[in-house]
A and B are shown apart, each in its own frame.
Chain A
Amino acid sequence: MSIAVVDACFLINWSRFRYREDLFKLYPRLALPEIVLSEIRSSDAKRFMLSLATSGKLIIIPRVNLIDREALKLFTLINSIPELPRIDEPEAYGLAYAKLHGIPFLTDNAAPRIAREFLREIREVQVLDSLEDLCRLYSGEYLLLRIKEFMRDTGIVFSKKRLREKRIEYEE
Chain B
Amino acid sequence: MGTMSIEDYKRRLEEAREIRRRSADWDFIEKQPEPMKTALKLLVETGDLWYSAKIAGVGLDELNEMRLKAKIPLVVI
Contacts and interface: CB of A to CB of B under 8 A. Distances in A.
Interface of B: 1-4, 6, 9-10, 12-13, 15-16, 19, 23, 47-51, 53-54, 59-62, 64-65, 67-68, 71-77
A107 to B, nearest CB: 10
B75 to A, nearest CB: 5
B37 to A, nearest CB: 19
A55 B71 CA distance: 33
A41 B60 CA distance: 8
B51 A155 contact: no
Contacts of B47: 110
Nearest to B68: A155
A88 B60 CA distance: 13
Interface string A81-112: 00111101011000000000000000011110
B21 to A, nearest CB: 13
Contact of A159 (B16, B49, B50, B62): B16
Q: Give the top 6 A-B pairs by smallest Cβ distance, nearest first.
A: A117-B2, A42-B61, A157-B73, A39-B60, A155-B68, A83-B6
Contacts of A45: 61, 64
Contacts of A86: 48, 51
Contacts of B62: 41-42
Contact of A40 (B16, B61, B71): B61
